[in-house]
Amino acid sequence: MKIKIIEPKAFVKNEWSGGATTQLYIYPENSELAKRNFKFRISSATFTDTSSTFSDFTEYQRFLLPLKGHIYLSHKQKYETTIQPYEVEYFKGDWSTYSENTLDTVDFNLIVKENIQCNLSVLNVGEVYIPKRAGKLMIFSTSDCTIEAYASEKEEVQLKGWSLLVIDEEEQLFKLTVKKSEKAGEKVIFCEVNE
C-alpha cells in the first residue's frame, strides 16, 4: 500500500464561468482537463453566480455533492433534484445539466471515464469502508481526521483538513475505518477507482 497526502498548496486553481474550481487530483498525473485525456479527476468548486450550466464531459461519469450549501440540478429531459450537504448525485457526463445554488455553496466532484469502475461514499466517524478490489482510493475531509487502514497489518494515517489522501492499493485492503475527526459530525469522502 503506497500512501501520498496532497496538501492544498499543491492543488491547481482555475476560474470558470460560474466561479472558481480547485483540482485536488487528476490521474494520470500528467494528464490535462482541457485535453480530456484523464481517467479520473477530483475537484471542488465555489460559486460567484447562483446558476450555471455544466460542461459537457461525454464519455465520463460524474459524482457531485455539496460540502456546503445546496444545489438544485435539472438534467434536461431526465429529472430534477436538489441535493443537500454530503448527498451524492451520480449522472452521465454527456447529460445537459443546469444548476442553481446558494452563493456560499462549495461542491466536491469526481469525474471518471465511463468504462472504469468507481464508487463514492460518505462516511461518519466510526464507520467502515471495505474496498471492492485493488485500485486507487482517495479520501477527503474538510477537517482533520484519522483513518485506520488494514491490509497485511494495521496502519493509521493522520489527514489534515482540506487535504487529499491517495492510496495505491497494490493488494486489496480489508477495510478502512474513520477513527476520529476534529469536528463532531464531520463526514469523510471515500472515492474508489478500479481500472
1 part of a folded domain: no
The sign of the CA dihedral 7, 59, 190, 65 is: positive
Full-model pTM? 0.94
Distance CA 188, CA 186 (A): 7
Confidence of residue 172 (pLDDT cuts 50, 70, 90): low
Q: Kindly state whether residues 100 and 127 are assigned to the same domain.
A: no
pLDDT(13) > 80: yes
Cell of 116: 472504469
Distance CA 2, CA 173 (A): 11
User: Which of the listed ranges 91-95, 126-130, 148-152 does the model predict with the highest average pLDDT?
Assistant: 91-95
Confidence of residue 19 (pLDDT cuts 50, 70, 90): confident
Question: 104 burial class (0-12, 13-18, 19+ CB within 10 angstroms)?
Answer: exposed
The chain-wide mean pLDDT, for the chain, equals 93
Distance CA 11, CA 34 (A): 16
* Last-in-domain residue among 113, 132, 166: 113
Q: Kindly state whether residues 137 and 91 are assigned to the same domain.
A: no
Q: Kindly state whether residues 108 and 122 are assigned to the same domain.
A: no
Structural domain including 58 reads 7-113
pLDDT(106) > 80: yes
Cell of 78: 431526465
Cell of 7: 496538501
**Pair 67, 109: CB distance under 8 Å:** no
pLDDT(161) > 90: yes
Q: Kindly state whether residues 34 and 11 are assigned to the same domain.
A: yes
Collapsed DSSP state (helix, strand, coil) of residue 93: coil
pLDDT(66) > 90: yes
Q: Kindly state whether residues 86 and 16 are assigned to the same domain.
A: yes
pLDDT score of 76? 97
Confidence of residue 78 (pLDDT cuts 50, 70, 90): very high
User: Which of the listed ranges 65-74, 131-140, 147-156, 181-190 does the model predict with the highest average pLDDT?
Assistant: 65-74
Q: Kindly state whether residues 60 and 127 are assigned to the same domain.
A: no
Q: 74 pairs with which residues across the strands?
A: 80, 98
Q: Kindly state whether residues 46 and 133 are assigned to the same domain.
A: no
The number of distinct structural domains making up the chain is 2
Q: Kindly state whether residues 43 and 102 are assigned to the same domain.
A: yes
Percentage above 70 pLDDT, the chain: 98
Q: Kindly state whether residues 83 and 15 are assigned to the same domain.
A: yes
183 part of a folded domain: yes
83 part of a folded domain: yes
pLDDT score of 119? 96
Q: Kindly state whether residues 39 and 55 are assigned to the same domain.
A: yes
Q: 89 phi and psi, to 5 degrees?
A: -115, 125
pLDDT score of 163? 98
* Last-in-domain residue among 113, 132, 162: 113
pLDDT score of 15? 87
* pLDDT (average), residues 180-188: 84
Q: Kindly state whether residues 125 and 109 are assigned to the same domain.
A: no
Percentage above 90 pLDDT, the chain: 76
2 part of a folded domain: no
Give the CATH number, domain containing residue 62. Answer: 2.60.120.10
Distance CA 163, CA 8 (A): 6
Q: Kindly state whether residues 108 and 21 are assigned to the same domain.
A: yes
pLDDT score of 143? 94
93 part of a folded domain: yes
* Last-in-domain residue among 96, 113, 130: 113
